[in-house]
C-alpha cells in the first residue's frame, strides 16, 4: 500500500485520509491523516468487526488534538506548523483555548495554534 500511494503524496494537510484494512477485516489501520479523518474511519470500521489500530499520540493517550479541536469548533488552523508543538503539549498538560473577538491584532509564538472560524457555508 505504501509503495502504491507514495508517488501521490504531497503533505499532511492536503493528502487524503488513508486506512488500510486486512483481507479478513481484522484490523483497520490509519496510514495517513489520522487527525484528518482516518482515525474516525477506522473507528467506524470497528462496527464491521475490525479492530481500529490508532497510533497518533493524542489518540493513544486519550487526549484532544489541535486538528480535532479545530474541527469540533468549526475552525481552520491558520498556522499549521504550530500543531506539532501544541499536540505535544496537549499530551502533558491542559492547553487553554482562548476566544478573541475582533477587531484585534494577535501576536503569537510558534507553539501557539491559531484557529480561524470557517464561514457558515463551509461548515460540514
- Tell me: pLDDT of 122 over 60: no
Mean pLDDT in residue range 7-24: 94
Question: Does the pLDDT of residue 123 top 70, yes or no?
Answer: no
- Indicate whether 72 and 105 sit together in one domain: yes
- Given a cut of 90, is residue 108 above it in pLDDT? yes
* Contact present, 71 and 35 (Cβ < 8 Å): no
Q: What is the reported pLDDT for 119?
A: 80
Domain count for the chain, please give it: 2
Residue 114 sits in the same domain as residue 88:
yes
* Prior bond of 35 cis (ω within 30°): no
Query: What domain range is 41 assigned to?
Result: 2-55
Indicate if 51 and 83 belong to the same structural domain: no
The verdict on 73 and 118 lying in the same domain is yes
Q: Are residues 43 and 80 in the same domain?
A: no
What pLDDT, in 10s, does the model give residues 63-76?
999 999 999 999 99
For residues 43 and 77, membership in a common domain is answered with no
Does one domain contain both 46 and 71? Answer: no
The CATH number linked to 27 is 3.40.50.11220
Amino acid at each position: 500500500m505504501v509503495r502504491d500511494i507514495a508517488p501521490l503524496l504531497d503533505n499532511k494537510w492536503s493528502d487524503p485520509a488513508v486506512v488500510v484494512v486486512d483481507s479478513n477485516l481484522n484490523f483497520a489501520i490509519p496510514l495517513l491523516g489520522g487527525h484528518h479523518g482516518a482515525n474516525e474511519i477506522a473507528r467506524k470500521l470497528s462496527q464491521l468487526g475490525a479492530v481500529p489500530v490508532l497510533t497518533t499520540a493524542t489518540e493513544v493517550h486519550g487526549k484532544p488534538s489541535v486538528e480535532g479541536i479545530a474541527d469540533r469548533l468549526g475552525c481552520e488552523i491558520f498556522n499549521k506548523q504550530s500543531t506539532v508543538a501544541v499536540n505535544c503539549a496537549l499530551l502533558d498538560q491542559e492547553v487553554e483555548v482562548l476566544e478573541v473577538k475582533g477587531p484585534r491584532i494577535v501576536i503569537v509564538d510558534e507553539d501557539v495554534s491559531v484557529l480561524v472560524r470557517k464561514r457558515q457555508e463551509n461548515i460540514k
